[in-house]
């Protein structure tokens, strides 16, 4: 069975052992980890080599491995991943690339700068993952996202919508009203974004409200106003209006 690998590097994983090491030692140790993981899953057709490395104030997060090694480390990991799986599509995955805010636009620009630098070094990079955690707080802009997708396409990159869901924390308490509002978020975003053929993959970050990370995150916020309902299916795996909304968006999208 073919599948997508997520992720070979994430700044929240414990890597404190490397903080006193030289780059050659880091390459040896982390490179061994990448080889072991990728060779264990040879059926993966694509990989998120990096997850959440781009900053909003600067092109790269101020995190160890990304700083101080920066592009040197990124280029090394991409080349090694390509060596381990020459046919796999390699991606950088990140969040807050779809919001209608100045800091989201700044992050888009920083991602584009990073891509240009990677390409200039000859690094193998094939796609960008736009996580798509849509929120009623920091609302998404499908139009801004499409402009970003077009700029990525100009650089020769595909797009994976990689972690799609809707945070309904400020939506109405009434369940039926809220479900319809969540459905509208999905449909409005996907109808526009899926118009671009360079969008090659759509992944949801949990298909039901049962044991969903948004539900766990909102437990305290919604203890008086009802459980969060971010997904396409409810706790009992019954389809909600969001499911029908996504089907309509997919049916209306051009074939690819």
Domain spans, the chain = 1-125, 131-256
- Residue 13 annotated to the active site: no
Fold equal for 1-125 and 131-256:
yes
Looking at residue 173, its pLDDT comes to: 87
Average pLDDT for 104-125: 97
Instruction: Find, among 164, 103, 156, 106, the residue nearest to 128 by Cα.
Output: 156
- Residue 21 annotated to the active site: no
Which range, of 24-38, 65-79, 184-198, 229-243, averages the lowest pLDDT?
Answer: 65-79
Beta-strand pair 158-167/133-135: parallel
CATH no. of 1-125: 3.20.20.80
Catalytic residue among 21, 63, 98, 163: 163
Catalytic residue among 52, 56, 98, 143: 52
Looking at residue 137, its pLDDT comes to: 87
pLDDT tens for each residue of 8-39: 999 887 566 666 678 888 888 889 999 999 99
pLDDT tens for each residue of 63-111: 766 776 789 999 999 999 999 999 999 999 999 999 988 999 999 999 9
Q: Please give the CATH topology (third level) of the domain spanning 131-256.
A: TIM Barrel (3.20.20)
| DSSP states along 103-139 | HHHHHHHHHHHHHHHHHHTT----EEEE--EEESSS-
């Amino acid at each position: 069975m073919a599948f997508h690998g997520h992720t070979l590097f994430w700044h929240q994983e414990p890597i404190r052992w490397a903080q006193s090491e030289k780059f050659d030692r880091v390459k040896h140790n982390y490179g061994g980890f990448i080889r072991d993981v990728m060779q264990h899953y040879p059926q993966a057709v694509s990989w998120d080599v990096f997850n959440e490395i781009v900053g909003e104030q600067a092109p790269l997060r101020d995190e160890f491995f990304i700083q101080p090694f920066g592009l040197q480390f990124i280029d090394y990991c991409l080349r090694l991943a390509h060596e381990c799986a020459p046919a796999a599509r390699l991606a950088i995955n990140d969040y807050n690339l779809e919001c209608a805010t100045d800091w989201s636009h700044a992050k888009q620009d920083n991602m584009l700068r990073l891509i240009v630098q990677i390409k200039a070094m000859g690094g193998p990079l094939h796609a960008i993952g736009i996580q798509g955690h849509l929120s009623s707080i920091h609302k998404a802009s499908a139009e801004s996202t499409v402009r970003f997708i077009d700029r990525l396409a100009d650089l020769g990159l595909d797009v994976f919508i990689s972690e799609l869901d809707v945070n309904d924390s400020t939506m109405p308490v009434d369940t039926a009203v809220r479900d319809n509002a969540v459905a509208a978020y999905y449909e409005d975003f996907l109808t526009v974004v899926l118009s671009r053929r360079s969008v090659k993959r759509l992944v949801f970050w949990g298909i039901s409200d049962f044991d969903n990370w948004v539900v766990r995150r909102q437990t305290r916020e919604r203890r008086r106003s009802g459980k969060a309902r971010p997904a396409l299916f409810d706790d009992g795996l019954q389809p909600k209006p969001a499911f029908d909304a996504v089907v309509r968006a997919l049916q209306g999208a051009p074939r690819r």
